[in-house]
Amino acid sequence: MGLFNQILGAINDPNKEASGSQLMDIISTVKQVSNSMGVDSGTTQTAMSMLGGHVRSALQEKREANGNQAVQEIINQFAGTSPNLQAVQALFSLSQINDIVQNISEKTGFDAAQLQNFLPTLVPIILNLLKAGNDTENSNSASNNILNSFLDTDGDGDVDIADAMGMASRFLK
């Protein structure tokens, strides 16, 4: 619940970019993807959680190599709810993309080709959730508590992107 609570806190903080409409757009896009793929929301949440783990690893590597500012710039440039292949390419090499698709496909039953087609939609959604913690005055600052919390996990492998989205969906109803 940590990530969800931070997102709620950001929605209630006028100094953060988060908004209820941003969260609604994210949830709506995930539902559209789920419907397009013909799978239930639980399977989609599992896939999102797994993808969130890969995004976290990629962002951690970027932070180690290039610093917090570089990671924040990726978030600012590629966060959204529209498909953006460049977002995927900014985080992952072609071999990583293939491994991610194979891994998620094996564990969820998603068709690998279909999943690969939806990565350009799913990755910007995760980045959009992370962008919710940006300061309204300076979106390039490293004070994005949602992003920092996402990257500074305890290493248990549990990415609560799916939990946060599920709770947000129930919260907004």
pLDDT at 157: 43
* Cα pseudo-dihedral 44, 49, 51, 57, rounded to 10: 180
Nearest to 137 by CA among 17, 5, 8: 17
Name the residue range of residue 107's domain.
2-172
Per-residue burial over 135-160, b if 16 or more Cβ lie within 10 Å, else e, is beeeeeeeebbbbbebbebeeeeebb
CB atoms within 10 A of CB 100: 24
Query: Which neighbouring-strand residues pair with 16?
Result: 135
CA dist list (Å): 84 to 29, 56, 62, 99, 130: 13, 18, 19, 19, 16
pLDDT at 37: 82
CB atoms within 10 A of CB 169: 18
Do the beta carbons of residue 1 and residue 144 sit within 8 Å? no
| Number of domains forming the structure of the chain | 1
Give the C-alpha separation, 76 to 147, whole Å: 11
pLDDT at 88: 97
Q: For the chain, which residues score pLDDT lower than 50?
A: 1, 155-159
Give the C-alpha separation, 58 to 39, whole Å: 27
Say what angle helices 161-172 and 41-66 make with each other, to 10 degrees: 130
pLDDT at 158: 47
pLDDT at 154: 53
pLDDT at 166: 61
pLDDT at 94: 95
Task: Give the global pTM.
Answer: 0.85
- Supply angle C-alpha 65, 157, 129, rounded to 5: 70
